[in-house]
Homo-oligomer: A and B are copies of this chain.
Amino acid sequence: MDHLSLQDPLFATYVIAATLMILKAVSMSWLTVVRMMRVKGGFRSPEDLRKTPLNPEPNPKQLEPNERVERVRRIQMNDLENLPFFLVAGFLYILTEPSLLLARVLLYGYVASRLLHFAAYFTGQNHETRATFWSVGSFILIFMTIRTLLAAFGY
């Protein structure tokens, strides 16, 4: 059987989870762009203070950190610390041929945990809320990775 066929329900589960997470990650870049344009600031490069059609009235304050922009950058940083590893761990986990039910619970559970983490972080909920959602995702990632490592040793 071809493990990497999109017709294989197990692999399709991974592909759906992976593509949703990639779209989530890319959205953070665009959200940063939207917020920088709205607050007309939060820039980082000296050349961004040049007078151009998109920045007709440059101001040195535009290079200062802006909390509305920085919040999205922190969320994106959290994505970078987690999603690339999930993308590989989920792929390798699928190759251990887990049950379809368990794979769906873990992979879609991870997706849900990251979307809830985003919602909590974006709206500035208490640290405990954000940390809980992050932890759920992190535990799923650790479980899949250790399961795959054991499988590579024949267990």
Contact = CB atoms under 8 A, between A and B. Distances in A.
A4 B50 contact: no
Interface in A5-55: 5-6, 12, 15-16, 18-20, 22-23, 25-26, 28-30, 33, 43-48, 50, 52-55
- Copies per complex? 3
Interface of A: 2-6, 12, 15-16, 18-20, 22-23, 25-26, 28-30, 33, 43-48, 50, 52-55, 67, 71, 74, 76, 80-85, 87-89, 91-92, 95-96, 121, 124-128, 131, 138, 141-142, 145-146, 148-149, 151-153
A6 B4 CA distance: 14
Contacts of A151: 6, 15
Given A15-B152, A18-B88, A127 B47 contact: yes
A71 B45 CA distance: 8
A84 to B, nearest CB: 4
Contacts of A47: 124-127
Counting chain B CB atoms within 10 Å of each CB, the highest count among A67, A146, A149 belongs to A149
